[in-house]
Structure 1
Amino acid sequence: MIRAVIFDLDGCLVDSEPMALEVLGEEMAAEGAPTSAEELRKRFLGVSIQSVVDHITRFTRRAVLPDFPRRFEDRLLARYDTELRLIPGATALLDALQTQGIGMAIATGGSLRRLEVTLRVSGLERYFTGRAFSADQVRQGKPAPDLFLFAARNLGIDPSRCAVMEDSPHGIAGARAAGMRAVGFVGGSHLAGMRDDHAARLRKAGAAEVLKNLTGMRDALLSGC
């Protein structure tokens, strides 16, 4: 029986990935590691900023400027007040799970600062007070299982009783490594034109189901409940 759902945040509950990938691409190019929009979506969706830094270092064969993570985040968060939008159906899904007594948490690869700003601007903080967790809080981010296990531990629920909603192969792989049911989501606007291909990648990573919108997501997450 599923007793808790752990959500990725960006691209699952908030439609922030187009902004994030755009800013990330510009900052990577400034560091001498230009990357196409398609490659950004395939390689860097759902990974930690440290993974991006490591890639740039390998590509350029030199150290990345130490202010890179802060520079990226400052530019991104400056756009949130006017551009951040919820994924359609997000609050209805959260309300339904809350009414059913299902525990809920956030597990994001983003920083604690970005997490806090996102929840405040989006209005989602009321659902996740004390239950929103960042890769900053664990040793290894996705695709390692650490963050999902950390969330389950803080919820006080066995990992086998948790389901995860994710939009990245790294996140799906991390959820499966944690022993959790994983459901993929390809409804974010950053996946326009490649939803079917990305859905196949999520299934290959271990997603039990993949949905293109949030209709039916509650049932997909709680399957077997």
Structure 2
Amino acid sequence: MTDIRAVIFDMDGCLVDSEPMSLETLAEMMAVEGLHATPDELRRKFLGMSIQAIVRHLSEALDRPDLPDFARIFEERLLARYPSELRVIPGIPALLDDLAARGVTVAIATGSSVRRLGITLDVAGLAGQFGDRIFSADQVRRGKPAPDLFLLAAQSVGIAPEACAVMEDSPHGITGARAAGMRAVGFTGGSHLVGMQDDHARRLSEAGAAIVLPDLDGMAAALLDRPGRV
């Protein structure tokens, strides 16, 4: 068994409880374009995907070549809510401190833009935990569910993919982590999954998660694959 030396976190829904805001904002903007969907429907279809990939889907649905301002306006509206509404997932600071104390490198691989990534960490007070080990879908040709972003993170921190574990709340993210050859652990503790944790846990398991947890109790052990030793 390869010792896990790095843990790569998805950001939205894993580090910060931002997904309800994202889904609500997306639903509102799509309605203006004539595409009506509930946040729950959007979660099932788009959770874990970059806004650029979502815009491509919307362009196809509308049979329009592009939506040039959609991503920019979405991000502006979403970020305007962050100072008053963004919350860190309970237990994340303690988990990050625990991993750091064990000498485990931590990084982020997110479908969010570079700009949104930086602002999110500043508002949440988590920037100091990750330094420059933060990676966005903006930096790769293919976002999740492709493995590119996870491989970029591993290469950048100098740790082989098989020695990396990933904490993800989306099937797309789990699929990408597994395609990169990494251990994948599912998480269903975000508020966007209240009332549907069991169904979502099944989807994460089907995507390849080694284990799925509803909260952060036992998360360090699950990520490091050391049951009973962490």
Match of 1:46 among 48, 51, 56: 48
Mapped to 2, the partners of 1:109 and 1:92 lie a distance apart of 24
- Between the aligned partners of 1:78 and 1:36, the Cα distance in structure 2 is 21
TM-score (structure 2 length as normaliser): 0.96
Does residue 139 (structure 1) correspond to residue 135 (structure 2)? The answer is no
Query: Is the 8 Å Cα contact of residues 4 and 163 (structure 1) preserved in structure 2?
Result: yes
Contact 2:59 2:67 in 1 (8 A): no
1:162-220 CA-partner distances (Å, limit 9, x unpaired): 00000000000000000000000000000011100000000000000000001110000
Write the distance in 1 (CA, Å) between the matches of 2:174 and 2:128.
26
Which structure 2 residues correspond to residues 72-91 of structure 1 after superposition, within 5 A? 72-91=74-93
Please give the secondary structure, in 1, of the residue aligned with 2:78.
helix
Aligned residues: 225
CA distance in 2, matches of 1:130, 1:22: 30
| Matched residue SS, 2:73 | helix
**Which residue, 194, 198, 201 being the options, matches 1:199?**
201
- 1 CA distance for matches of 2:21 and 2:69? 19
2:8 to 6, 9, 18: 6
Contact 2:188 2:197 in 1 (8 A): yes
- Give the TM-score, by structure 1 length: 0.98
Residue 129 of structure 2 is aligned to residue 127 of structure 1:
yes
Distance apart, 1:54 and its partner CA: 1.5
CA distance in 2, matches of 1:41, 1:115: 20
Q: What residue ranges of structure 1 are gaps of 5+ in the alignment?
A: none
Equivalent residue of 2:42, what SS? helix
For the aligned residue pairs, the C-alpha RMSD in angstroms reads 1.0
Distance 1:36 1:20 in 2: 12
Q: Moved runs in structure 1, 4+ residues, more than 4 A?
A: none
Deviations 1:37-87 (A, max 9, x none): 221110011101122112111211123430100000000000100100000
Q: Pick the aligned partner of 1:110 from 105, 109, 112.
A: 112
Structure 2 gap segments, 5+ residues each? none
Sequence identity percentage: 65
- Structure 2 CA distance for aligned equivalents of residues 27 and 87 of structure 1: 26
> In structure 1, what is the equivalent of residue 36 of structure 2?
34
